[in-house]
Amino acid sequence: MSDISIHCLGASQEVGRSAFLLKTDKCLLLDYGIKIFGKDGKAEYPLTIPEKLDAALISHAHMDHVGFVPYLYNSSNVRWYATPPTIDLAELLWKDSMKIMGAELPYSFAQYKKALNMWNPIHYGQPFAMGETQVLASDAGHISGSAILELTYKKKKIVYSGDYKMEETRMHAGAKPVEDADAVIVDCTYALKEHPDRKTAERLLMDEIEETISEGGTALLPAFSLGRTQELISLVRAYNDEIPVFVDGMGKAITDIYIKHGKYMKDVNTFRKNVKDVTMVRSPFDKKRATSEPAVIITSAGMVEGGPVLGYLMNVNSDSKVMFTGYTVEGTNGWKLINEGYVTINGQDLEVDLPVSKHDLSAHAGRSDVLNFIKHANPSKVIIVHTDSGKEFERELKEDFGYDAVAPKVGDKIEL
């Protein structure tokens, strides 16, 4: 028996439901998320936790990392740890899941309330101990409050990257690499794909937006409410402070939380000013105005599964264009719109006769940054997670780079 083990309860050879059990002198859960669009379009949950937990550590507030935390509280009294933005964002997103999924969700309102009470704050750069295990969080550069977690036990350092981005974005300065780890559990979403140059991608999107608007249309940007909406507000305003911008969906409330936790972004003053310069859609009148003039509309849902975007899609004029900037899961409306030109609403297929484009503005590390992250950590073990192409990357890391790498399956246990 070794001193440390990692048990993969999700996000292994898949994206979604991140959950890893790290055993040192303590039994620590790293993330506890759900996979919103799993098999047959149904939500999927992590494997059952096989033993008593001492604590849960949550990297950030995306639902694939925090979405299942209330489920811990059917009987357990375990504490969970995350940064202050993460609790505020999680509260909003859990409430929204309860509203959308209702009785389908395997936790109750009482469990949600208890989860809110069992939160403990962690802060970047302030290490703390759980038994003999040291925990240190640092900025992951992915969304507000996102953290890379370093866990040290008996002089061995395990790094859990969560979702991270090293490159600077409009909202975040980017994560710093972690030096000298013994093992890394690393987000490899884009390990096989290089992102295009960020500035070029931004300019391309702006050119399309400006062209659409000059032709009298709406630039309709379906966007995830957490992270992408705020990045797009900043991006559009960085290039153009004149075109009307409307923001709709849960991104509005999330933007308020971003401002409340202003020190978790690069430049809260500029962001605050940018937010003042866009219209948050608060009424039917605002909604009508958004489509009655050439404008940018940034709205959820990012995959066009519900949210105000469906209404806009039906109401924009024929000179309009739909511009995607995020990931779409196969089979969702977003994916169907990009690949087949239709959406399904209430069981009915509706053709959408608008041009659609796709832009890469990812908030995850691209290939060279994944390799960089691993190179800096220089670990004796690389655990590849949060990707569909883990096996291919495992082979490459072993054969071309000489690392002891593994892309585990859900349920696998790794001894360190």
| Tokens 């109401």, located at residue | 315
The residue type of 182 is D
Distance spanning both ends of the chain, measured CA to CA? 9
Window of 76-84, 155-163, 311-319, 320-328 that interacts with Zn ion by CB under 5 A: 155-163
Total of chain residues touching Zn ion, rule CB under 5 A: 3
CA atoms in the 13 A half-sphere facing the CB of 353: 4
- CB closer to Zn ion, 37 vs 312: 37
- Please choose, from the candidates 263, 98, 249, the residue with its C-alpha nearest in 3D space to the C-alpha of residue 171: 263
Helices 251-260 & 84-101 angle (0-180, nearest 10): 160
Instruction: Judge whether 259 and 269 are in contact, CB under 8 Å.
Output: no
- CB closer to Zn ion, 57 vs 219: 57
- Please choose, from the candidates 196, 162, 197, the residue with its C-alpha nearest in 3D space to the C-alpha of residue 178: 162
Window of 94-102, 158-166, 215-223, 314-322 that interacts with Zn ion by CB under 5 A: 158-166
- CB closer to Zn ion, 86 vs 291: 86
CB of 172 to Zn ion, least distance (A): 12
Task: Choose, by CB under 5 A, the member of 14, 139, 150, 163 that binds Zn ion.
Answer: 163
Q: How far apart are CA 89 and CA 368, in angstroms?
A: 30
CB of 385 to Zn ion, least distance (A): 10
User: 311-332 burial string, b = 16+ CB within 10 Å, else e?
Assistant: ebbebbeeebbbbbbbbbbeeb
- CB closer to Zn ion, 229 vs 291: 229
- CB closer to Zn ion, 249 vs 294: 249
CB of 85 to Zn ion, least distance (A): 13
Written as six digits, the tokens of 105 are 């969700």
Window of 22-30, 124-132, 163-171, 342-350 that interacts with Zn ion by CB under 5 A: 163-171
- CB closer to Zn ion, 31 vs 182: 31
Instruction: Judge whether 319 and 212 are in contact, CB under 8 Å.
Output: yes
Window of 161-169, 198-206, 326-334, 371-379 that interacts with Zn ion by CB under 5 A: 161-169
Pairing of strands 183-187, 381-385: parallel
Written as six digits, the tokens of 48 are 């059952």
CB of 52 to Zn ion, least distance (A): 26
CB of 65 to Zn ion, least distance (A): 6
CB of 146 to Zn ion, least distance (A): 7
x-or-dash string of contact with Zn ion, 42-81, rule CB under 5 A: --------------------x-x-----------------
CB of 163 to Zn ion, least distance (A): 4
Which element (helix H / strand E) includes 57? strand 55-57
- CB closer to Zn ion, 49 vs 89: 89
CB of 260 to Zn ion, least distance (A): 20
- CB closer to Zn ion, 18 vs 24: 18
Instruction: Judge whether 57 and 84 are in contact, CB under 8 Å.
Output: no
Binding site for Zn ion (CB under 5 A): 62, 64, 163
